[in-house]
Amino acid sequence: MTTPASRSNIILQPGDALLLVDVQKDFLSGGALAVPRGDEVVPVLNHCLNKFQKRSLPTYASRDWHPPNHCSFTEQGGPWPAHCVQTTEGAQFSDALVLPESAEIISKAWMPDQETYSAFQETNLNEKLKTGNIRRLFIGGLATDYCVLNSVKDAIQLGYTVYLLEDAIRAVNVHPEDGCKAVEEMTRMGARLCPTSSLCPALAHSNALLTDLYQLTMMQGYFDQKMNQTAVFEFFVRTLPANRGFLVAAGLEQVLEYLETLHFTETELDWLRQCGHLRRDFVDSLEGFRFTGDVHAMPEGTVFFGNEPILRITAPLPQAQLVETRIINLLQFQILIASKAARMVLAAPGKQLIDFGLRRAHGAEAGLLAARASYLAGFSGTATVQAGALLGIPLYGTMAHSFIQAYDREDLAFEQFARSHPKNIILLLDTYDINRAARHAVALGKRLMKKGIRILGVRLDSGDLTVHARSVRNILDEGGFQEIRILVSGNLDEYALATFTKEKAPVDGFGIGTCLSTSEDAPSLECAYKLQEYGGRPCRKRSEQKATWPGRKQVYRTINTEGVMQEDRVTLDDETREGTPLIQPCMQGNQRLAPPEPLTEIRKRIAQQLQGLPKPMKSLQTEFTYPVKISRALEDLAEAVDRRIDLPT
């Protein structure tokens, strides 16, 4: 099975390089060994080249550079016709390929008696990449099932993160399945499929300065003391907000992206040098800074509770310290929204829920991530266009009051809208008088019917929505439009949804804005990211009301035969307990252990988890407290740590 491509964009950064494999005339149409549809990769690769150039990132172009008597040629008993013979025209790169002057040429398979396909074999490519501090390699070219395949395999084995440019490769297909099998093999080994359109060349600022100043002042202290041993930090929520019976893990993907790409730009280093808070020698040491650590976490979509670690960072102390602020910033917000949205999903079973929250979200990123987190929790989609473009979340939306007002005449506005969007007609009824508007909709619906056009729905945005929905339903039904759906919006939260459900209001879908995107009744979590171990020595903080459990931890969950959650137990990481361990490894030495999880997979997980909640937790009540126990070994460790710290100093 091939790994599905991530929908998110990949931001090119220092440490990235492009490898073009054998885009040579002999492999293109009219060549001695033309790859079927091989010419198609050229414009796609030109587009990539342009993106890499914009970021001043290096390009390597490999070429078959065979001697005339190469062993792979049929004349010598090999499988191929003579091709790419040194200095012949067939060995030249495609004339249409716009290679920058700075591109480095890697000549391969130049020894007469040795057939090699990989750009790494008998070449100095690996050496060049290492010298250039290259960590991620984007590979495209010809042919998928020979030179691309073998170059990718070598690159992975040499420790590079490999992105296979899926639309910039073509296969020879001696057997028709060869190309597909090669892609399968590469992804199984860890190559990530990536369409060239998802490469983003530009980054104004890195996220490295999205941190508190004290992280940097402490790092200067660590630098001076050469305190570079392994630190273990864990992220957890101390206690749940009053109106939440459970929380839903979300935001891991953004944390991994952040850690993968973390670096200081030159501009940022220049700024830090003169900011007056840090010494120059320390700032100099941040050049080439990377996160090199490990991440363990609960998968996104896991239901969790207070005092349970949901993410663990294991890294040299300065790295693990710097990332605190942004990790909390990313995790808290998506947990808030996924948890709030999950309550809404529970309160409106079977109804369509749509995120309308961008305008009242706290800034752009909040709007975007609220669309993501609510979609994970079971929302159908969002109105936020950028969430569609960047994250692939389904978009919804038709008209606002201003559209009606601009026409003055409501019936005219409806008619014109129908003309512009005949396949997506949803009419807003409450600009002036809802019932009159409903009658306009019926009249329009009858006229449209003759043209075979249907009104999909109507939307109500003010007043007593249940009352209005009933009267609009009547008007529509009497007009013969039982199939027109009624959507409502306007300061709705999970309690309002529960009331609609209880009153059996004739509403088919809900647009949810402010209450969702600000998590209005609980806009923050008592969450923390705390040092639990340093240099192999467990530690804990003992501040009043804020003491933490020391050491690396695991959470085991037991589930009964009906699939219902029974109990969680927080243990030391190396304890083995009944149940399922929730914390799983997901990044090692800054390498992801799996490609980004598709949003649809996380949606399925949340749906399953909500299904498995104990019954009282499926309501909006929060009296029921799910049992979370602390293992004896963990309690013992806490005591031992306290005894150590209490030694006279």
Contacts (CB under 8 A) with its own copies, residues 366-395: 366-369, 383-386, 388-390, 395
Pair of tokens at residue 637? 């460790």
Report the residue number, 302 or 532, with the smaller CB distance to its own copies: 532
Q: Is 280 one of the binding residues for its own copies (CB under 8 A)? A: no
* Interface positions, 309-338, toward its own copies (CB under 8 A): 317, 321, 324-326, 328-330, 332-333, 336
Nearest CA to 613 among 575, 556, 563? Answer: 563
CB of 221 to its own copies, least distance (A): 4
* Interface positions, 218-247, toward its own copies (CB under 8 A): 218, 220-225, 227, 231, 233
The number of angstroms, rounded, from the C-alpha of 238 to the middle of its chain's C-alpha atoms is 26
Is 464 an active-site residue?
no
Asked if residue 234 lies in contact with residue 318, where contact means CB atoms within 8 angstroms, the answer is: no
The 10 Å Cβ neighbour count of residue 111 is: 15
Report the residue number, 121 or 386, with the smaller CB distance to its own copies: 386
Report the residue number, 559 or 645, with the smaller CB distance to its own copies: 645
* Interface positions, 482-521, toward its own copies (CB under 8 A): 514, 518-520
Nearest CA to 5 among 193, 210, 152? Answer: 193
Strands 247-248 and 303-304: antiparallel
Return the residue of 69, 402, 580, 621 that touches its own copies, per CB under 8 A.
402
Report the residue number, 9 or 558, with the smaller CB distance to its own copies: 9
From 35-43, 163-171, 407-415, 474-482, give the range in contact with its own copies by CB under 8 A: 407-415
* Interface positions, 517-556, toward its own copies (CB under 8 A): 518-520, 523-525, 527, 530-531, 534, 537, 539-546
- What's the Cα-to-Cα distance from 465 to each of 266, 354, 639, rounded to whole Å? 55, 17, 57
Asked if residue 310 lies in contact with residue 334, where contact means CB atoms within 8 angstroms, the answer is: no
Helix (H) or strand (E) holding 645: helix 632-646
From 18-26, 462-470, 609-617, 621-629, give the range in contact with its own copies by CB under 8 A: 462-470
CA angle (620 as vertex; 616, 624 as ends), nearest 5:
40
* Interface positions, 54-83, toward its own copies (CB under 8 A): 54
Is 113 an active-site residue?
no
Return the residue of 68, 100, 288, 463 that touches its own copies, per CB under 8 A.
463
Main-chain phi, psi angles of 189, to 5 degrees: -75, -10
Return the residue of 65, 291, 356, 500 that touches its own copies, per CB under 8 A.
356
Helix (H) or strand (E) holding 259: helix 252-261
Report the residue number, 26 or 493, with the smaller CB distance to its own copies: 493
CB of 332 to its own copies, least distance (A): 6
CB of 643 to its own copies, least distance (A): 13
Asked if residue 249 lies in contact with residue 299, where contact means CB atoms within 8 angstroms, the answer is: yes
Report the residue number, 158 or 443, with the smaller CB distance to its own copies: 443
Helix (H) or strand (E) holding 487: strand 485-489
3-state DSSP of 171-182: CCCCCCCHHHHH
Report the residue number, 70 or 540, with the smaller CB distance to its own copies: 540
Instruction: Given the residues 51, 64, 84, 108, select the one marked as catalytic.
Output: 108
* Interface positions, 415-434, toward its own copies (CB under 8 A): 416-417, 419-421, 424, 430-433
Return the residue of 130, 280, 629, 644 that touches its own copies, per CB under 8 A.
644
Report the residue number, 175 or 436, with the smaller CB distance to its own copies: 436
Pair of tokens at residue 324? 């605190």
CB of 109 to its own copies, least distance (A): 36
Report the residue number, 525 or 617, with the smaller CB distance to its own copies: 525
- Write the single-letter amino acid at 591: Q
CB of 528 to its own copies, least distance (A): 9
From 61-69, 85-93, 263-271, 563-571, give the range in contact with its own copies by CB under 8 A: 263-271
Return the residue of 16, 22, 461, 597 that touches its own copies, per CB under 8 A.
461
Residue 620: exposure state from Cβ atoms within 10 A (0-12, 13-18, ≥19) = middle
- What's the Cα-to-Cα distance from 194 to each of 163, 164, 595, rounded to whole Å? 6, 6, 11
Asked if residue 106 lies in contact with residue 62, where contact means CB atoms within 8 angstroms, the answer is: yes
Using CB under 8 A as the binding criterion, the count of chain residues that bind its own copies stands at: 120
From 103-111, 121-129, 269-277, 624-632, give the range in contact with its own copies by CB under 8 A: 269-277
Coil, helix or strand for 286?
coil
Phi-psi region of 265 (alpha: psi -120 to 50; beta: other; left: phi over 0): beta
The 10 Å Cβ neighbour count of residue 202 is: 9
* Interface positions, 3-32, toward its own copies (CB under 8 A): 9, 11
Q: How far apart are CA 120 and CA 152, in angstroms?
A: 9
Q: How far apart are CA 312 and CA 440, in angstroms?
A: 58
Q: How far apart are CA 547 and CA 615, in angstroms?
A: 32
CB of 264 to its own copies, least distance (A): 11
* Interface positions, 83-102, toward its own copies (CB under 8 A): none
CB of 340 to its own copies, least distance (A): 12
Instruction: Given the residues 147, 515, 527, 586, select the one marked as catalytic.
Output: 147
Is 451 an active-site residue?
no
Q: Is 408 one of the binding residues for its own copies (CB under 8 A)? A: yes
Instruction: Given the residues 16, 22, 26, 39, select the one marked as catalytic.
Output: 22
Q: How far apart are CA 196 and CA 287, in angstroms?
A: 29
Q: How far apart are CA 427 and CA 522, in angstroms?
A: 33
Coil, helix or strand for 365?
helix
* Interface positions, 190-219, toward its own copies (CB under 8 A): 197, 200-205, 207, 209-218
Look up tokens 């969450």; give the residue.
Answer: 527
Report the residue number, 301 or 381, with the smaller CB distance to its own copies: 381
Q: Point out the residues that are catalytic.
A: 22, 108, 147
